[in-house]
Amino acid sequence: MTSTQDLRVAAELAPPRAFDTACRMVVDYLSRVVPLDAWAVTRVADGHQTMLVTTDSDYGLTPGQTALWSSSMCQYMVAGTAPRIVPDTRTVPDLARIASEAAAHGMEVGTYVGTPIVSGDGSLWGTVVGMNRRPVAPETVDQEPLLDLLSSLLSSVLEADTAAVDSARALERAVSDAESDPLTGLLNRRGWERWLTREDERFRRFGDPASVVMLDLDNLKVVNDTEGHDAGDRHLRHCAAVLRSTIRSTDPLARLGGDEFALVAQIGVEDTQKLVERLRDALDSAGVPCSIGAAPFTVAGGFPGACAEADSLMYADKRARRGGDRGVPNPRPEPPDLSTA
């Protein structure tokens, strides 16, 4: 006789545990049940709204596209000053204004549908949003209970998936000693590359803001040649200590070899520039000046793209500093405003 403990559910019937999988299921379902020109799950962070999962038949929306939150219709839905389902955006002044601005750029939004995705602490994490070029039938508002149910389910999956990722990260940090640089105690190149590989999929899944910062010690060769390699090692350890004291303990920091360092700061573009300035001041004051380059993580380019761009900016900074220009290349400017979702 088979006990209930031995029963197994068929794989295709098991609920999704990964947030991105649940998002795909939700937008695909909504596109069939409430057929609008576009549906998407978006992440709201750092003053921007980023498309994570989309299904689109007209607007050309794709994952990774980003819009300013201040130009989003969703801001009014979240604030409670606009309904979650607006069959005709002309009937809501705030939405009508944004729709008019979008129409001037060839993007018509006659219908808006949106509902929030909430983090475990009750803060806004993102939205489920739908748009249609033309107004739809007023009865579409009858789908509000369905919209609420799906956004609630996504909020629950998000909380569970985030908790699972946090636990996995804690375990990975606990077993990372084999991937540490023996001189500085930071991650070595192998540990750095393994961290980027693990986290690239996670950051793409959740659309979290982050920036890669690459650093190169300016005068290590001079120290080695004039004072010896023991002094050079002390110089490297001192640089590592300054970097560690300037960033958050949860941000990965690595010595890639020689005089190269790298870190990932889980902050947005504006805060990244402030971090670069803070790092430069701390390193200069400590007598371990570095050339610095920083670039943001994007859903489209991932960590490989951010690392390549930050590395290029770091070398540009090094050339500028050798020429007497103390300015630091800025992180890539804000992405273009691609949507009014």
For the chain (length 341 residues), average pLDDT per consecutive 10? 58 64 92 95 93 92 92 96 96 96 92 94 94 95 92 87 72 64 91 91 88 93 85 92 93 93 93 94 94 94 95 94 60 45 56
Tokens of 308: 């390549």
pTM of the predicted model over 0.85:
no
Q: Evaluate whether 212 touches 264 at the Cβ level (below 8 Å).
A: yes
Query: Can you tell me which residue has the tokens 């979650």?
Result: 84
Q: 107 CB contacts (<8 Å, ≥6 apart)?
A: 59, 339, 340
Q: 63 CB contacts (<8 Å, ≥6 apart)?
A: 51, 52, 53, 54, 299, 300
pLDDT at 10: 63
Q: Cα–Cα–Cα angle for 163, 164, 166, nearest 5°?
A: 65
Domain boundaries, the chain: 15-163, 189-323
pLDDT at 15: 55
pLDDT at 168: 66
Fold of the domain built from segment(s) 189-323? Alpha-Beta Plaits (3.30.70)
- Just give the CATH number of 15-163: 3.30.450.40
How far apart CA 12 and CA 35 sit, in angstroms, is 25
Q: Evaluate whether 28 touches 38 at the Cβ level (below 8 Å).
A: no
How far apart CA 250 and CA 232 sit, in angstroms, is 27
